[in-house]
Structure 1
Amino acid sequence: MADLFSEPSVKSDIVLIVDDKRMYVNKTILSLASPVFEAMFESDFKEKQDEEIPLPGKKYDDFLEFLLCFYPHSMKPVNFDNVDAVLPLAEEYQVQYIKRKSDETLLYCLEQTCLSDKKLVHILWLADKYALSKARAKSVDMAACRSYEKLATVFLLVCFN
């Protein structure tokens, strides 16, 4: 799927530079998904006139995954395997669709049987950090039924490693 953004097309009208790689994308699609991109392209920011926009500090694979989750030709689902990559970008670029899908994904994960303490703490941490209300409420309820000492130890491992 990386090929989707690696070459210019008749629909691409802006180039994002991520990890020194070019991503050929469409301003309208980015603007519809993200108020941050909308402001960048339509306000008096310098990017309004630029043909290439560098996004320093972003990882190419994470940004690709992010785009694939809201771009119309892919609409890749947010799942437990990609939520850690796409959620910080959804927060930064205010893509509410991905935040809602992340909340639903984490809520679904919480409903699975045999949820490990590590996974519960990880979900709780993500839900709290990104204000995902449904997953946060459910994970807090579930954590209340588990051993504090065990969860505290897992929390230190999950959040500080």
Structure 2
Amino acid sequence: MSSEMEVNNEFGGETGQSDLTLVVEDHKIPVLKAVLCIASPVFRAMLESDFQEKSKREIPLPGKSYEDFVEFLKCIYPDKMKKITEKNAYKLLPLAHEYEVKKMEKRCQKVLIQAVRNSHMKNVMELYRHIHMSETYRLEELKKICIYLASEHNLEQFKVARQTYQISDASHYMIIELALRRHELDKQDEGCLSLKTEDGKEQRGFLRYDDIVKFSLTGKVNLNESDTARTLRALRLSERFKITTNETDVKSRMIRKLQNDSTKTPDNDPHKEEFDLLPERIKIALKNK
């Protein structure tokens, strides 16, 4: 190895306790085998089993970014334990997956889910990017959330995004299927929405009578009754058309009612699909009990 390589001593080299040197790009990183073996089953197999690396004092890691690998080490070393954030999660995830650091993978997934909810719910291209990422690294929760979010958009956006990010056929077709089901629910909901015209323009809104939110002459939601389907419809309509009433807490009351219903909803419940197809911001509110 070239004597001109820079040495990073912050992982055991400074104290002279290191018993292994990793070579990443043009840097040498003295490390402790024990730390690597505790954190990673892959390193443990490499350093403790009958692999050629077991007897080596220096192991090259080709194809790795020095900057990213140092970040990885900072997150597994017990005296550092750097926090995983949106800024470093994208760099850490490939390394956590390769070296099977499961806790780091789970933390990265949690951070990326929050990033999607904070910044990317309306961006189909970003949603497809995260679906592609979740398929590469087997992040099932992230994939499901992004698929449902993507299905809130339109077919043309799906086509454009897929030209950039080649997600699996199964995920792509699921997005389209969910989008069609949302469209069907929208059509059903519209049949229960009060309509009135004024100056030649159609207006949509709630009519408020005591504890009843009324959508049409034939369909109404009573907040004191136990009809989950009607409450789900009321929430979808209020979110879709940004409908408000004279009483500002109507939506929060409907959410509280559904929170009680959702805790009793088994997988085979007829309302499970409608719960799953609620807008993401409503599902987040339902979880925040």
Q: Please, what TM-score do these two structures have when normalized by structure 2?
A: 0.50
Instruction: Decide which structure has the larger Cα Rg and report it.
Output: 2
Structure 1 unaligned regions, length at least 5: none
Q: Please, what TM-score do these two structures have when normalized by structure 1?
A: 0.86
Alignment of 1:39-50 (within 5 A): 39-50=45-56
| Amino acid aligned to 1:91 | H
Shift of 1:63: 0.9
Alignment of 1:1-161 (within 5 A): 4-5=10-11, 7-112=13-118, 115=121, 116-157=123-164
Aligned partners of 1:16 and 1:25 also within 8 Å: yes
Aligned partners of 1:103 and 1:133 also within 8 Å: no
Identity among equivalent pairs (%): 34
> How well do the aligned residues superpose, as a CA RMSD in angstroms?
2.1
Change (3 A) 1:148 1:25: farther
Structure 2 unaligned regions, length at least 5: 1-7, 167-289
Aligned partners of 2:120 and 2:126 also within 8 Å: no
Instruction: Report which structure shows greater RCO (CA 8 Å, sep ≥6).
Output: 1
More helix by share: 1
Shift of 1:158: 5.3
Aligned partners of 1:15 and 1:51 also within 8 Å: yes
Aligned partners of 1:6 and 1:22 also within 8 Å: no
- How far apart, in 1, do the equivalents of 2:15 and 2:58 lie? 15
Size of the alignment, in residue pairs?
Answer: 158
- How far apart, in 1, do the equivalents of 2:124 and 2:111 lie? 17
Shift of 1:95: 1.1
